[in-house]
Structure 1
Amino acid sequence: KASGLAAGKGVIMAETQAEAIAAVKDMLEGNAFGASGHEIVIEETLYGEEASIHAIVSGDDFVCLPPSQDHKRAGEGDTGLNTGGMGAYTPTSRVTAEMQAQIEAQVLRPTLDGFKADGIHFCGTLYAGLMLTPKGVRVLEYNVRFGDPETQVLLPMVADDLVPVLLASAKGEALPAKLNFHPGAAIVIVLAAGGYPDSYAKGDTITLPTTTPERSAIVHAGTKRAEDGTITTDGGRVLSVSGQASSLQAAADLAYGVCDQVHFDGKYLRRDIGHKELNR
């Protein structure tokens, strides 16, 4: 993997030694990720399912949002290159109440204790990217921000007013003991430009539906608005469409229905977001 920031695309999952050698050469000699890939990290491949845990933190205090699962690979069936994320859903049944408690006690709490030991009074969002392996929970990464695209499924599930909670976190004040969440599930589908995460075109006109169903949303990402109001593509992950419903299948049907009303040349999306959860 590239040691520097690479927009979520700097990890190469090499299945063979030859693939690993080719990836190393691409980064060190081929400048595949620019300066970010001039130093590389070689790590053990972890097998299992991904989970994203978001905690709103105020010093020693924290409260968690529902566990979610991102889909990093570009292709259906979790194949192809890594991306910044092609879609996500929440909650994931792979993170049981017992596992959530374990993550809070063995991952989040020691991390906050480490902050304190280093003289850091952390206030904000702590996002842990985890792998749920046969050997247990493993931490892949931390971010001190909300995840993308996970945020688009987490926010619709929060039944409480989140603003006072975020403000308390920012001020280092006490947080509520827990947050309340809507029943059901939420899903988000990323609409990407053709060719992403490799080279892709920009400047294609986007046609959007005039209205969207209740509990669905279109979130702009790699878009640009001209003076005449025309909206065009301006990035790899162009838009995302979220849906929240009583079940993951209903949320998926809602979101994909809106996806099919969005049009631009080269539009690409995965049609299997949430497939592992739906097939359990």
Structure 2
Amino acid sequence: MKVLIVGGGGREHAIAWKLTQSPKVNKIYCAPGNAGIADVAECIAVKAEDIDGICKFAKESEIDLAVIGPEVPLAMGIVDELEKAGVKTFGPNKKCAQLEASKAFTKAFLDRHNIPTAGYKEFTDKEKLLKSVGIYGYPMVIKADGLAAGKGVVIAETEAEAVKAIEEMMGEKVFGSAGDKIVVEEYLTGIEASMLCFVDEHTIIPMESAQDYKRIFDGDKGPNTGGMGTYSPSLVFNKDLEERIRTEILNPTLEGFQKDGLDFRGVLFIGLMIGEDGPKVIEFNNRFGDPETQSVLLRLETDLFDIFDAVVDNKLADVNIKWSDQKAVCVVLASGGYPGDYEKGKIIHGLNRVDQDVMVFHAGTKSEERTVHMGDNGCGIIAKTESVVVTDGGRVLGVAVLGDTHEEAREKAFDNVKKLSFDGMQYRNDIGLIVRK
């Protein structure tokens, strides 16, 4: 089978790496890929948002299965177009992709189907919103309705912070049209956790749990990011909680999809807040989470291609999905300045020094030819050109490790983090620990 993965981040590297373990897959392409993905797949110079280019390549290359990684092409309708071109595709169609592309759409869905979530109101008029500042008290949760690369959420501690966020989103358009509508939510307290689920028309099967760390700094401080690390399974979960999530969230969600005519086939990412009154949904995403995927797929024992194929054919219930009992930790190494402005092109050192059983998933990287000065032999400077891996994004690498215990996996992850470096590199030191608010 020939598989095309669309995307070029850490999530896509993890998917490609896992698919190489399938005896049914003999060729993997990735558009556009990155320096790490190039080690396990053939990278194609087509952007993830170039739907026409991807459809053309998929048809010409006789792709058996396309797997869509990022949210933007899903929201653009890439699944619909690939299926029109006769290419089997893993991922939700454009109608279902609204669950991530519009926070207001998701909140209305949750409300309509009595799925526990925070109270909310939506606004399209900036002045009305400014008059409603503090409607749920403080902290005040302010969300840009549309896609904002995981950064469109502000938790304002004061009125001044709330006004600033509103002006930036709706006035200055820092997130473009994503801020045309704002969703204001009640602030939930508890512990955040993530649950990824395989979903087809008839079945929803949760993967092993993971806990994500969104804030940039230790102790859950600083602005939100796309995710600075994860561990799996989450220590928050137990059998009773999992049963409540199944009864109160998963089953009503699948029933809601069926009632609303949402033919969801792919991965549903559910962001949860586990509070004293039980689990509540913070958000839905339409794809594998990043960096949750890097932890969770390390523990998957079932052939990932078989799962993808079953989901597309609405036969997910026929697959017995098995997981390792080992624990996983993934630590993200990010560029200096992220999630704000950051520089690219910093040479990454130490990739050949990490332990053999440690996975370094590439997120924002690329290969470049650089001239390296070797010294002066008295007759002039000696230099040579060599290929190096450089930073090319905010989140650069994910160091992912398995261990028999959380402590063992965490210790090994950070031992290997210290073997890697690039100018401005930053990471959290508390990944793998429960951060209570």
TM-score, length-scaled by structure 1? 0.94
Distance 1:7 1:271 in 2: 23
What residue in structure 2 maps to residue 24 of structure 1? 166
What residue in structure 1 maps to residue 405 of structure 2? 247
Could you tell me whether the CA contact under 8 Å between 1:165 and 1:176 is conserved in 2? no
Offset of 1:123 from its aligned partner?
A: 1.8
Amino acid at match of 2:397: L
Spell out, residue by residue over 1:215-268, the C-alpha distance to the aligned partner (whole angstroms, 9 max, x if none).
320011111112552111111001111011001111111111121111110000
Distance 1:137 1:222 in 2: 33
What residue in structure 1 maps to residue 394 of structure 2? 236
Give the share of equivalent positions with the same residue, in percent: 40
Could you tell me whether the CA contact under 8 Å between 1:241 and 1:255 is conserved in 2? yes
Amino acid at match of 1:268: Q
Amino acid at match of 2:186: E
Q: Does 1:140 align with 2:282?
A: yes
Tell me which of 98, 103, 110 is aligned to 2:240.
98
Spell out, residue by residue over 1:119-175, the C-alpha distance to the aligned partner (whole angstroms, 9 max, x if none).
233221111111112222111111121110000000111122232122111211143
What residue in structure 1 maps to residue 341 of structure 2? 199
Could you tell me whether the CA contact under 8 Å between 2:231 and 2:328 is conserved in 1? yes
Higher Rg of the two aligned structures: 2
Offset of 1:203 from its aligned partner?
A: 1.0
Distance 2:267 2:363 in 1: 21
Q: What is the DSSP-based 3-state SS (H/G/I as helix, E as strand, rest coil) of the residue aligned with 2:147?
A: coil
Q: What is the DSSP-based 3-state SS (H/G/I as helix, E as strand, rest coil) of the residue aligned with 1:12?
A: strand
Distance 1:191 1:52 in 2: 20
Q: What is the DSSP-based 3-state SS (H/G/I as helix, E as strand, rest coil) of the residue aligned with 2:434?
A: helix
Distance 1:37 1:120 in 2: 25
Q: Does 1:3 align with 2:145?
A: yes
Matches within 5 A, 1:211-222: 211-222=353-364
Offset of 1:32 from its aligned partner?
A: 2.5
Matches within 5 A, 1:255-274: 255-274=413-432
Runs of 5+ consecutive residues of structure 2 not aligned to the other structure: 1-142, 370-385
Offset of 1:208 from its aligned partner?
A: 2.9
Residues 1:178 and 1:16: Cα distance change in structure 2 (over 3 Å)? farther
Tell me which of 271, 281, 287 is aligned to 1:129.
271
Distance 2:180 2:428 in 1: 31
Offset of 1:178 from its aligned partner?
A: 4.8
TM-score, length-scaled by structure 2? 0.61
Distance 2:161 2:175 in 1: 17
What residue in structure 1 maps to residue 365 of structure 2? 223
**Structure with higher helix content:** 2
Q: Does 1:149 align with 2:276?
A: no
Could you tell me whether the CA contact under 8 Å between 2:214 and 2:227 is conserved in 1? yes
What residue in structure 2 maps to residue 118 of structure 1? 260
Amino acid at match of 1:13: I
Q: What is the DSSP-based 3-state SS (H/G/I as helix, E as strand, rest coil) of the residue aligned with 1:154?
A: helix
Tell me which of 11, 14, 19 is aligned to 2:156.
14
Amino acid at match of 2:261: G
What residue in structure 1 maps to residue 106 of structure 2? none
Offset of 1:33 from its aligned partner?
A: 2.1
Spell out, residue by residue over 1:29-49, the C-alpha distance to the aligned partner (whole angstroms, 9 max, x if none).
233223222322211111111
Amino acid at match of 2:322: N
RMSD: 1.7
Offset of 1:176 from its aligned partner?
A: 4.5
Distance 1:14 1:178 in 2: 44
Could you tell me whether the CA contact under 8 Å between 1:56 and 1:126 is conserved in 2? yes
Distance 2:146 2:261 in 1: 25
Q: What is the DSSP-based 3-state SS (H/G/I as helix, E as strand, rest coil) of the residue aligned with 2:270?
A: strand
Distance 1:62 1:35 in 2: 32
Could you tell me whether the CA contact under 8 Å between 2:202 and 2:314 is conserved in 1? no
Q: What is the DSSP-based 3-state SS (H/G/I as helix, E as strand, rest coil) of the residue aligned with 1:109?
A: helix
Which stretch shifts more, 116-125 or 184-193?
116-125
What residue in structure 2 maps to residue 58 of structure 1? 200
Could you tell me whether the CA contact under 8 Å between 2:354 and 2:419 is conserved in 1? no
What residue in structure 2 maps to residue 107 of structure 1? 249
Matches within 5 A, 1:140-179: 140-176=282-318, 178-179=320-321
Q: What is the DSSP-based 3-state SS (H/G/I as helix, E as strand, rest coil) of the residue aligned with 1:103?
A: helix
What residue in structure 2 maps to residue 84 of structure 1? 226
Offset of 1:80 from its aligned partner?
A: 0.4
Amino acid at match of 1:94: V
Runs of 5+ consecutive residues of structure 1 not aligned to the other structure: none
Distance 1:72 1:120 in 2: 29
Amino acid at match of 1:46: L
Distance 2:272 2:297 in 1: 20
Amino acid at match of 2:407: Q
The number of residues matched between the two structures is 278
